[in-house]
Amino acid sequence: MTDQFSEDEIVYGDSWGLVHRGVLEDREIERMKALRDKVYGKNGVAVTTMKPIGRVEIEGEVYEARLENGYLDVRTPVTVIGIDFGYLLVKELKMEAK
């Protein structure tokens, strides 16, 4: 059985998939959308060890975050790739060699 949902019925991130409105209250979906719009694509730094959950600092504010996968040490650069049930979904920001 395939369900069709309108964009208004879902909250989505680049890599974590879809969450149907029946799972979350409307105000929680709006809070997640606002958080996504505020931090999506921004870079920051891990302020705790990420195993895979920890805290990151983005533009002077500290947020609860979850790694896409793996483990990161404190002060590791990260980038926000989505929102996952109230956590920022982050991955390590790899610096290019010059």
Q: What does the pLDDT average to over 51-68?
A: 94
pLDDT-based confidence at residue 95 (cuts at 50, 70, 90): confident
Q: pTM here?
A: 0.71
- Cα R_g (the chain), whole angstroms: 15
Q: Is 11 exposed, middle or buried (0-12, 13-18, 19+ CB in 10 A)?
A: buried
Cα-flanking dihedrals φ and ψ of residue 36, to 5°? -60, -45
CA-CA-CA-CA torsion sign (51, 43, 68, 13): positive
Confidence band of 78 (pLDDT split at 50, 70, 90): very high
* pLDDT per residue as tens digits for the range 6-34: 444 444 444 344 444 455 567 777 888 88
Provide the sign of the torsion angle of the four alpha carbons 67, 53, 7, 22, taken in this order. positive
